[in-house]
Structure 1
Amino acid sequence: MDPAVKKELVDDLDRFVRRRDYYKRVGKAWKRGYLLYGPPGTGKSSLIAAIANYLKFDIYDLELTSVSSNSQLRGLLVSTRNRSMLVIEDIDCSIELQNRPAGPGGCGQGTNDELTLSGLLNFIDGLCAFRVLASNYLCITDHDLFNEIDKLMLAVEVTPAQVAEELMKSEDTDIALQGLINFLRYRKL
């Protein structure tokens, strides 16, 4: 790798790790994405391993051919641990991702019976969003009710604004989280 590009990459990684609290303060998920491209044998996988080693992050290799629906993809992404890297190799040719459904109401996520490009992009973008909101509104990073909320959020489509509204209804963490659970259960019905 060109020494100047390597320095630029290392500086970017250091800045990313250093600014975790900044991401939390502005309400953004603490994540960083890179698009690596080039023919086989040019060092993409080696670079991924080097970055993971440098950051001391786990690596998750997502094989899109094994994912058949948006709901299955969402479940896989929610199960990844913090401080990890998600690697999707050959995204352009591993499967035929459908884009937004045609016709009225084709808003981009398709159904839970198919895997769509917009679903993939939305889930990656929204990964850890609930925890960012819980941290911002309730000043917590973990709670016994998080697992139940994660499961309900897999089954229900809600916006970050709706989640934030529920979290703001009480200053008591347990009451706020239980209120969110009740809201999600109601939406599921």
Structure 2
Amino acid sequence: MKINIECASRERILFTNNGHASYELGWVSVPFRHPSAFQTLALEPELKKQIMDDLTAFSNGKEFYHRVGRAWIRGYLLYGVPGSGKSSLTAAMVNYLCYDVYDLELTKVTDNSELRALLIQTTNRSIIVIDDIDCSVDLTADRMWKKRSHPSRKHKESGCKNGRVTLSGLLTFTDGLWSCSGEEKIIVFTTYHRENVDPALVRCGRMDVHVSLGTCGMHAFKFLAKNYLVVDCHGLFDVVESSIMSGGGLTPAQIGEVLLRNRGDVDIAMKEVVAAMRRMILGGGSQREVIDCDDMTVVRSPESVLVTGSPENWDSSPGKNGGKKRSNSKVYFFLRLRSLTKSDSGRRVV
């Protein structure tokens, strides 16, 4: 495959803007040596394949983009709770395509003119990353009067900083006239709160692919267990699966830390994972969605999904209808836990 051949011989470069408002020397760089790859990501196989296929089609799409009259640029929105793998996925995309990466910190950009100067310096075959798009800059300058008249409590509590770059300034580069300043570029936005991102910024044609990164599903957990503990199966796998189905799912970062800390003892590592999931359920702190349906409760652990399309389609994203129906899910979980975690001597794993 062409991408793999190039990866073997080309070193990637990581650029970041220096914040000195220098139009000619706006970027500083270091070699990019992040080890993340799709082979090491704890993602569901279908999601991995969807992303990799999309990246490959984009990389090989020069003739197509020219034929249909579109700038050879593609936008990704990665959203999810902290520790869900947004940075790891971005690094995997960089290594898969062998592109350079530009980490653009908008809070260091003085105005739209400097933003434009920085972006036109980016090279072809590159990925431009803007993290925490909803907090890094105020992208609703044309609607500031609404915010001043009706301040948002959520916005105040988030700790977001008012920026100096406007929404129109960023849109001009994502799909305006300046979007043609170079070819074969991917823009990646990340956020914890998808609902806080202006819909004008993430509609089709600007952010073409929306990837929801959540807690680990069972396949992703088994993948992590294989990587960290070198095990394909364990007596507590059924307990982990029941925990996930009952809303006790953990992010890849949370599971990875437990497994890393106890990598010398598989049994202890698995018991600690189960205990952490149990605390999540008891404390009600899981990142889950609960929907009441008459006398039934649908509990869905937000596993990672890919959504293509504009914000009006978000509510029908994959996984929305994939929950398990259970009456009193916590009671079910603990009954299941009791039956599955008794050792031969009658002791329970806690």
Question: What band does the TM-score fall into relative to the shorter chain?
Answer: 0.5 to 0.7
Q: Which structure's residues are more often strand, by fraction?
A: 2
Correspondences of 1:128-143 after superposition (within 5 Å): 128-129=179-180
Match of 2:60 among 18, 21, 24: 18
Match of 1:123 among 173, 179, 183: 173
Correspondences of 1:60-71 after superposition (within 5 Å): 60-71=102-113
Match of 2:72 among 16, 19, 30: 30
- The residue number in structure 2 matching 1:78 is 120
What is the CA-CA distance between 1:131 and the residue it aligns to?
A: 5.8
**In the alignment, does 2:96 pair up with 1:54?**
yes
Tell me which stretches of 4 or more aligned residues in structure 1 moved more than 4 Å. Answer: none
Take 2:64 and 2:86, find their aligned partners in 1: how far apart are those partners?
A: 29
| Alignment check: 8 A CA contact 1:78 1:128 kept | no
Describe the shift of the 1:20–1:72 C-alpha distance in structure 2 as closer, same or farther (beyond 3 A).
same
Q: Which runs of 5+ in 2 are unaligned?
A: 1-42, 146-163, 184-350
What is the CA-CA distance between 1:99 and the residue it aligns to?
A: 3.1
Letter of the 1:125 partner, please give it.
Answer: D
**In the alignment, does 2:133 pair up with 1:91?**
yes
User: Which moved further from structure 2: 119-128 or 24-33?
Assistant: 119-128
1:63-113 alpha-carbon deviations (Å, 9 max, x no partner)? 01001211000000000000000000001011223332789xxxxxxxxxx
Describe the shift of the 1:3–1:130 C-alpha distance in structure 2 as closer, same or farther (beyond 3 A).
closer
Correspondences of 1:93-108 after superposition (within 5 Å): 93-100=135-142
Larger radius of gyration: 2
TM-score between the two structures when normalised by the length of structure 2: 0.33
Letter of the 2:171 partner, please give it.
Answer: L
Aligned residues: 122
Letter of the 1:23 partner, please give it.
Answer: Y
TM-score between the two structures when normalised by the length of structure 1: 0.59
Letter of the 1:20 partner, please give it.
Answer: K
Describe the shift of the 1:130–1:93 C-alpha distance in structure 2 as closer, same or farther (beyond 3 A).
closer
